Structure 1
Amino acid sequence: MNGWLALIAVGGAALVALIVVASVVSVRRERRRREGLRGWAARYGWTYVERPKTDWADRLPGRNRRGLSLVLSGVLDGYPVSVADYEYTETSTSTTSR
């Protein structure tokens, strides 16, 4: 029984370590992605804004203002353009019970 307990403890520790490493890798990858977007915006004369305050986010699916994480804005062929990074979670409910 003692061997099983040790095996479970080692497995749990390995799982926690894997989760921590995956989280660190994810954060670093997102940071590099944002730095790349910021550099692209500067190179092409666009603006880069993180967590912008906008009213048009209410018209997006999910109506999640906090889902708008960044906006790139500039001019393309004479027209003002904004490109946003937006996410929301779709939920559903059921009124039937079984």
Structure 2
Amino acid sequence: MDAWALLFGLPCVGLLVLMVLLAKQQARAERERKDALHRFAAHEGWQVSAGSRPPWTSRLPGSNPNGVGLTMTGRVGQRWVTVADYFYETSDSEGSKKRHPLSVVLVHFVDRCHRSR
């Protein structure tokens, strides 16, 4: 019985350790990406926000109001521009979900939202 436990237990433990290491690597890469975006935004005078629920998500695929991650807004030339991380999910007939990440760029043609700046 001990040999069987060792034979099946060791690969399971190894797989678990590998999954933890990969999750840590992904988290570190995402943190570095966000830090780089914050540095860019600070250098360019842009504003950064996270977790907003803007109304324009209704016009995107999936119409997911909770799908907006990091959002940056600033000037490009004479226009205000917003760049955002966005995702939506779809399900197949078996209930399996697939996540669709997108980068969204909005150009503000009306300046009324930013007149106080």
CA distances 1:35-62 after superposition (whole Å, capped 9, x unpaired): 1101100000111111113111121110
In the comparison of the two structures, how many residue pairs are matched?
94
Q: Percent identity?
A: 32
CA-based RMSD of the aligned residues comes to 1.6
Q: Secondary structure at the match of 2:74?
A: strand
Q: TM-score scaled by structure 1?
A: 0.86
Aligned in 2, Cα 1:76/1:19: closer, same or farther, shift over 3 Å? same
Cα distance in 1 between the residues matched to 2:75 and 2:93: 42
CA distance in 2, matches of 1:91, 1:12: 29
Counterpart in the other structure of 2:66: 66
What is the SS of the residue equivalent to 2:66?
helix
Q: Is the 8 A contact 2:53 2:66 kept in 1?
A: no
Q: Does the C-alpha gap of structure 1 residues 8 and 92 become closer, same or farther in structure 2, counting only changes over 3 Å?
A: closer
Q: Structure 2 CA distance, aligned partners of 1:27 and 1:65?
A: 24
Unaligned 5+ segments in structure 1 are none
* Dislocated runs of 4+, deviation >3 Å: none
Q: Which amino acid aligns with 1:77?
A: G
Q: How much has 1:92 moved relative to structure 2?
A: 4.2
Provide TM-score, normalisation by structure 2.
Answer: 0.73
Gaps in structure 2 of 5+ consecutive residues: 95-117
Q: Aligned pair in 2 of structure 1 residues 5, 36: CA closer, same or farther (>3 Å)?
A: same
**Within the alignment, does 1:52 sit opposite 2:52 as a pair?**
yes
1:39 lines up with 2:3 in the alignment: no
Q: What is the letter of the counterpart of residue 45 of structure 2?
A: G
